[in-house]
Structure 1
Amino acid sequence: MALVVAGERSGVGKTTVTMALLAALTRWGDRVQSFKVGPDYIDPMFHQFITGRACRNLDPLLTSETYVQQCFTSASQDAEFALVEGVMGLFDGASGREDVASTAQVARLLNLPVLLLLDCARMSRSVAAIAHGYRSFDPRLSIAGVVLNRVGSDRHLTLLKEALEPLDLPILGVLRRQDEIALPDRHLGLVPTDELPELRPLCDRLASLAETSFDWNLLRPLLRIGKLGKLGKIETPPPPIPTADAKIQNPKSKIRLAVARDRAFSFYYADNLELLERLGAELVFWSPLQDAALPEGVGGLYFGGGFPEVFAAELAANPAARAAVGAAIRAGLPTYAECGGLMYLSQNIVDFDGNAWEMAGVLPTEAVMGKRLMLGYRRAIAQQDTFLYRQGETLWGHEFHRSHLTHSSETPLYHLQPYDPQSPAIPEGWQSPTLHASYLHVHWGARPELAAQFVAACGNHPAT
């Protein structure tokens, strides 16, 4: 079995509670596999920091319902415990009108019970109404119990327990207000783990808090994989080895792929990276912040998202790296860039204070930071034949950024349509025969042929 940690809304402490549970299990030497519902990159970083295992994203819209089941089963095979952190409120999905891509949908797909987290800071007896509503709203779900968060005092706890008693709903954890335990955030969410030198002591405090705040006699059987409960255990085969029509012409050795990974570029799905390796790529990590040159002998470049706007001054202060990237891309080195990677390939990044910082200069546009948040799932329709797509091909991705480009490509990569089909599609992205650059984040789990075609393009290009 496993548990899904869900909140009655966003901001109730799902990530903190999940980290506390993972930290306690890891302290005790248990092998625990974590998962995150939705497209988020940062929460999985915290999971992996604690467990030492890659956290997997479970998103039936970005991938597929079948892939979610396969991914969960495959990643959990050698673990003793499994924990799934939800997204937003339990029933909040992609559109706000239904629960597609919601925590509830993933819990149903995996046949797992839900641990419901309630923020009790400003209520007492009303907690019973909320718990009752969530338990009865969808009879297909099983609520294993609740965690009471931000409890103010012993008297407050007594009132909460009295209110919940008629529901016969187990209280599996009680967390008092913990002002000294807080995760710093910025304009796109939490600050990533690589920027938090005090994260290890914080995780130690969370582990100690979890040891005394949860009913482990009830929790451990629910979290343990392989113990059959009321809902049973899902049985699905692991994901197949990906294949694609793309062929690599006479590769002489493993294909080296330069992956930008540092404090500025850290948004990568674990499944994407592992898929590239399974297809024969050797991932060579390098830092556009610190390295003066690209790694030797690489057949392609991969730029994920991240926070290049936060480190724009440092990126600008490394002209050797910027020049090497620009020269390689102009020479035709296959390149895949998402969001932050797209921004790095522009002429300049203009930060929140209006300062312009020179970037790689591949794309004739600037990336300007602003207040407007572009957020949501997008249906992408390819407008050109590229090394990844054929014209007219469609896929789902996710957009999440506060910057905009000052100029658009005359031959855009995609037309993007929001999840709401009544919204108009807009042109987006830059492309050439060997360049793919877009704000769209794409998970290749259900589309392994895209990763295969990227590797094939890298294998067919002379190494740099």
Structure 2
Amino acid sequence: MIQEIKIPRILVSGTGSGTGKTTLTIALTKALQAKGLKVSVFKCGPDYLDPGYHSFVTGKTCQNLDGWLMGKGSVISSFISASQGSDISIIEGVMGLFDGHSPNSEAGSTAEIAKWLQVPTIVMIDASGMAATFSAIASGIKNYDPQIPIRGFVANYIGSKSHLSIIENASIPLQILGGFPKSYEHSFPERHLGLHSAGPDILTEEKLSFWKNLSEEWIDIEKILEIANSAPPLPKEGPKEIQTKAKDCKIGVAYDETFHFYYEDNFKKLTDYGAELIFFSPLKDAKLPEVDGLYIGGGYPELFADSLEKNKNLIEEIRNFANSERPIYAECGGLMYLSSEIQNIEGQSFSMVGLIPGKAIMSPKLKSLGYVEVHTEKRTILGEAGIRFRGHQFRYSDLILENEDDSLFSYHIRKRNSEKNTKEGYTVLNVLASYVHAHWASNPEIPKNFIDSCRRFKI
């Protein structure tokens, strides 16, 4: 049975990366919270870092919304579910509004999410050195695809209030919702994967208060609330009954400053299908929790390699866990941790768990970026051969194997818009490790199969 649900919502988009979408989203969140509103925040695309910022600010998990990885149905259901209990939902776009998987298609773009969720959209434009040209750019964006409900624009990097007034006068009849002056000293620092990971040292109270106060002074918050409240109802299906087994499977999840790149939807699917998640820290814990399987996600092991190496008790615990043939699933940073060693940018090497016979070598240059499709070539802890799912890679390291033994590989990976397949998916015992960040909405059988493997090999 289809019902309708009213969710006040707004989408913060831009003309490209670096236009200030994350800063505006955080500023709006803080300003709305100051009004006593409960805010849910979402991030378009596969990124992990921006969602960490939004989770820190809201105190609740920021969900990813990715059309290519998840599909329309999962995007809508995830949005509706995670918006419950909030007064307003803010969605931060990815890259430019129309940028997706192809220059000739909106598939995988912020625009696609805007249409699927019928969400009023505001666009942030870098206005430095502009006057009437701002209006020309804004007009082009608004008219490019009339199906996208663009409701206003925000000017970033403006020089003064008079500069903003000039842009407003030049942009009639477009709706200018305000702007931000240049304030580089309050910007959020970046590194090779984008922003630094969220934390109180980065998102200080002083910075958060600054952006809240600035938005209250320079942005028409009341108009944005009005726009958000104008969003039409969304169709909501009645609750689906998920047949779950009793929670007799415990999965240990590596989660700390080192490993925190996970899709929340993957966690939800594991718990929906009967797993209990128990979190532990490879940095600080000397022993593993009593669990039936391990899930080690991505992160920054190269930054904490010295401390990871020194935690020899936990390394030995993970080796023994693997030798008992209990399942371990690892992604990107998790793969690096399970390798023989990590070599950082400075050329220093640190011994790791040593289950995957290879050395992860960091590079100052990006080694892989983009969406991939995975096809399993043999049976793994994720199921039988022939399983397909989608994921994303974003890495600055390569794994140099000690021996190119075909028995190590279980994946064929194809990059989007490419016919070339590469071997990957390293398997040893019941360990499966890869550079791919998988989103299990692309194949909900994956979490079921992983749980079944954990049950099958539990001690």
TM-score (norm 1): 0.92
Q: 1:83 aligns with which of 90, 106, 110?
A: 90
SS at 1:429 equivalent: strand
| Superposed displacement of residue 233, structure 1 | 2.1
| Superposed displacement of residue 278, structure 1 | 2.2
Separation of aligned partners in 2, 1:269 and 1:393: 20
Unmatched tracts of structure 2, length 5 or more: 1-7
| Superposed displacement of residue 2, structure 1 | 1.1
Moved more, 282-291 or 272-281: 272-281
Aligned positions of 1:191-230 closer than 5 A: 191-194=196-199, 196=201, 199-224=204-229, 228-229=230-231
Separation of aligned partners in 2, 1:242 and 1:400: 33
SS at 1:83 equivalent: strand
Separation of aligned partners in 1, 2:123 and 2:104: 21
Partner of residue 416, structure 1: 413
Separation of aligned partners in 2, 1:53 and 1:64: 23
Partner of residue 265, structure 2: 271
Match for 2:267: what amino acid? L
| Superposed displacement of residue 337, structure 1 | 0.3
Partner of residue 448, structure 1: 444
Question: Is the 8 Å Cα contact of residues 243 and 452 (structure 1) preserved in structure 2?
Answer: no
Q: 1:34 aligns with which of 34, 37, 41?
A: 41
SS at 1:391 equivalent: coil
Q: 1:180 aligns with which of 153, 177, 185?
A: 185
Q: 1:344 aligns with which of 311, 318, 337?
A: 337
SS at 1:437 equivalent: strand
Question: Is the 8 Å Cα contact of residues 268 and 305 (structure 1) preserved in structure 2?
Answer: yes
Aligned positions of 1:11-22 closer than 5 A: 11-22=18-29
Question: Is the 8 Å Cα contact of residues 177 and 224 (structure 2) preserved in structure 1?
Answer: yes
- Alignment pair present for 1:108 and 2:102: no
Aligned positions of 1:305-344 closer than 5 A: 305-344=298-337
| Superposed displacement of residue 404, structure 1 | 0.4
Partner of residue 424, structure 2: 428
Separation of aligned partners in 2, 1:201 and 1:331: 50
Question: Is the 8 Å Cα contact of residues 151 and 174 (structure 1) preserved in structure 2?
Answer: yes
Q: 2:53 aligns with which of 27, 42, 46?
A: 46
Please provide the CA RMSD for this pair: 1.8
Q: 1:74-101, CA deviations, whole angstroms, 9 ceiling, x for partnerless residues?
A: 2223211011000000000023442211
Alignment size in residue pairs? 448
SS at 1:193 equivalent: coil
Question: Is the 8 Å Cα contact of residues 387 and 433 (structure 1) preserved in structure 2?
Answer: no
| Superposed displacement of residue 243, structure 1 | 5.6
Partner of residue 389, structure 1: 383
Separation of aligned partners in 2, 1:197 and 1:6: 23
Partner of residue 62, structure 1: 69
Alpha-carbon distance change, 211 to 267 in structure 1, aligned in 2, over 3 angstroms: same
SS at 2:441 equivalent: coil
The percentage of aligned residue pairs carrying the same residue is: 37
Partner of residue 277, structure 2: 283
